[in-house]
Structure 1
Amino acid sequence: MIGIPEALVRGTIDREGDRGAAWVAELPSVVEELLERWDCAPDGAVMHGGVGVIVPVRQGTGPTARPRVLKVSFPHPGNVHEPDAFEAWAGRGAVRLHRRDDARFALLLERAHRSTLAALEPADETVMTIAGHLSRRLAVPAPPGLPRLRDRADAWAAQLRADAAELPHTLPPRAVDAAVATARELGRTQPDTLVHGDLHARNILRADREPWLAVDPKGCAGDPAYDGGTLLKSRALNLMRADDLPKTARRLLDVFAEAAELDPGRVRRWAQLHAVQAAFWGRRHGFRVARAGPQLDQVTAVADRLAASLVV
């Protein structure tokens, strides 16, 4: 039986309670069953992400054995369409999918390196350029059955209004109004294009088949410009050190838009919406990089400044 990283055990139980504890208890036997069924043997240290275990394996035996990774995620609606996205891309800008077990939330994937695009920081323009090129390649027609981001637009607008009314904050009204307008205007009229949904530097890995490949997609249909905001939000700690945050943020979004061949205005509007959502989310829940205390205040302040300065 493989050992489950303690950090994944603690995080899952803290987040999911008894259901998480039951999943963790069953996980070693699930992995063993999948290894046997897919003719795989462990081939390196077990790793983990925020919601799942990742086991480097070799599929097959002898000199023809192929390096893969087995990923088993906690059952969650946000993970349902990950394999659908991989199948649609078929290796175009993302790791290849070799096997799937939807009932187990399990995938057998092409193995990439452990080094992520985040290792290039603070080379933000390079990060945005590489991510933009990948975004362009990932922008293929969405397969049927994926959740449509346009179906969330009204809920986004309603949540923004509720957060603005319920939470103490310093966001200027025009920043909230602009985010609501984006949800109602851009949000309701999005194309049926496959969108990664969580494109950030830690979800882009070094690889052999291509220099960089995307992993961990949410798999949804919508406007590819949406991912520009996700990417910028993930650079918050770097942006804290910028001499001129508004100027730096706009330049980085323009770099992404050019590389992704997207309208810069749409990218900025989506990024501004993401910033307002992040500002409110931080006040309600904290962030993964800062749950409380002075660092949370600093990250929230960056979100506030982005939300105000990116109003188009």
Structure 2
Amino acid sequence: MGLTVPRAFLESPRWWRGGGAWLAGLPELVRVQCARWRLTIDGEPAHGSNALVVPVTRDGARFVLRLSPPGPDVADQAGALRFWDGRGTVRLVEADADAGVMLLERLSSASLSDVAVDEAMHVLGGMMRRLAVPAPEHVPSTAAAVAGRTAGMAGEWKRLNRPFDEGILRLALDIGARLSRDAGSDAVNGDLHAAQVLRADREPWLVVDPVLLRGDRAFDLGRVLWTRLDEMPGPDDVVRGFDIAVRAAGLDRDHGRDWVLYRAVDYWLWGLGAGLTEDPYRCERLVSVFRS
């Protein structure tokens, strides 16, 4: 059975600035990897914005072949999956980072985005806690990420024509100074949100595409909220979702609030600079709820 690459994947805006040669070579890449790892294609491929996922079998066991453009991100992701080794994450079976290919255990296509927001907040908070084992020393730290962003935040705010009150900027800078001093030592997934958590058999929910950081488990609490914020119509709904996630993650509430405020201001600026329209508004909402 050969591979037919979905047209929606071929026509994704992700490839408007390059990637045509990689896309054209996908059928042959899949054929080569299937032969190398003794795999048989077992269904229609699925995709996100950056990766193609092909269901395969080997000796009766069901897996998926994940293919994305080769680069350091593939090696980093394989390293993250090896580190957690199935603890709250999809299990890595084989990897060829140079080819941009990983063989993973097969999960459901249903994501945490499909469940009610309060349940999603509980699962995501619990996932923060579950992944927070002692991290390897060599991976990037959340404190360094904050320090790097904080250093350029005021200049970015000025270049964007002061898009919000200076008091918000000063608040973010003050919080950033605190958060960049204490790195912590927990393993942290730096890309945690509902769409990256899929239903599974081995555990009820498993993370896919993790980014391994070392530091503070509350790092992505803001993203957890803003990616489901449209389902929280009022401030009380936002606070309830926040409290559910904080309790499940085992976080101090004030500390969690600091992370939400800092990451919301950071992403607000980044989103405006990137030309986004919806996410900056979501960040503005978060700041308005938690600033008071």
User: Taking structure 2 as the reference length, what is the TM-score of the superposition?
Assistant: 0.92
**SS of equivalent to 2:11:** helix
Q: Specify the SS of the correspondent of 2:54.
A: strand
Match of 2:244 in 1: 255
Query: Match for residue 26 of structure 1?
Result: 25
- The residue aligned with 2:95 is 100
Among 184, 198, 220, the residue aligned to 1:205: 198
What SS does the aligned partner of 1:81 have? helix
SS of the aligned residue for 1:189 comes to coil
**AA at the equivalent of 1:268:** R
Is residue 175–residue 308 contact of structure 1 (8 Å, CA) maintained in 2?
Answer: no
1:300 maps to which residue? 280
> Is it true that 1:13 corresponds to 2:15 in the alignment?
yes
The answer as to whether partners of 1:172 and 1:308 remain within 8 angstroms in 2 is no
Task: Choose the corresponding residue for 1:69, options 56, 64, 67.
Answer: 64
Contact 2:57 2:63 in 1 (8 A): yes
**Contact 1:237–1:299 (CA<8 Å) still a contact in 2?**
no
Q: Does the CA-based 8 Å contact 1:81-1:146 persist in structure 2?
A: no
Which structure 2 segments of 5+ residues have no match? none
Q: Which runs of 5+ in 1 are unaligned?
A: 288-295
Q: Alpha-carbon deviation of 1:66? A: 0.5
Report if the CA contact (8 A) 1:199-1:227 is conserved: yes
Q: RMSD of aligned C-alpha atoms?
A: 1.9
Shift of 1:273: 1.7
Q: Percent identity?
A: 32
- In structure 2, do the counterparts of structure 1 residues 78 and 262 end up closer, same or farther at CA, with 3 Å as the change threshold? farther
Residue 77 of structure 1, CA deviation: 4.2
Structure 1 residue 144, shift from structure 2 partner:
4.4
In structure 1, distance between residues paired with 2:58 and 2:169: 51
Aligned partners of 2:90 and 2:206 also within 8 Å: yes
Do the aligned partners of residues 145 and 23 (structure 1) sit closer, same or farther apart at CA in structure 2, a change above 3 Å counting?
farther
- Equivalent position of 1:83 in the other structure: 78
Q: 1:144 & 1:179 partners in 2: Cα distance?
A: 27
Q: 1:145 aligns with which of 138, 147, 158?
A: 138
- Residues 236, 299 of structure 1: 8 Å contact kept: no
Aligned length: 290
Q: 1:309 to 1:176 in 2, by over 3 A?
A: farther
Deviation at 1:170, TM superposition (A): 4.3
1:35 aligned residue: 34
Query: How far does residue 271 in structure 1 lie from its aligned partner after superposition?
Result: 1.3
Aligned partner of 1:305: which letter? R
Q: Distance in 2 between matches of 1:134 and 1:142?
A: 15
Q: 1:299, CA displacement in angstroms?
A: 4.6
Deviations 1:236-294 (A, max 9, x none): 3223xx1x33x33222122111101122222221111221122223322244xxxxxxx
- In 2, the alpha carbon distance for the partners of 1:272 and 1:79 equals 30
Contact 2:70 2:97 in 1 (8 A): no
- Aligned partner of 1:311 in structure 2 is 291
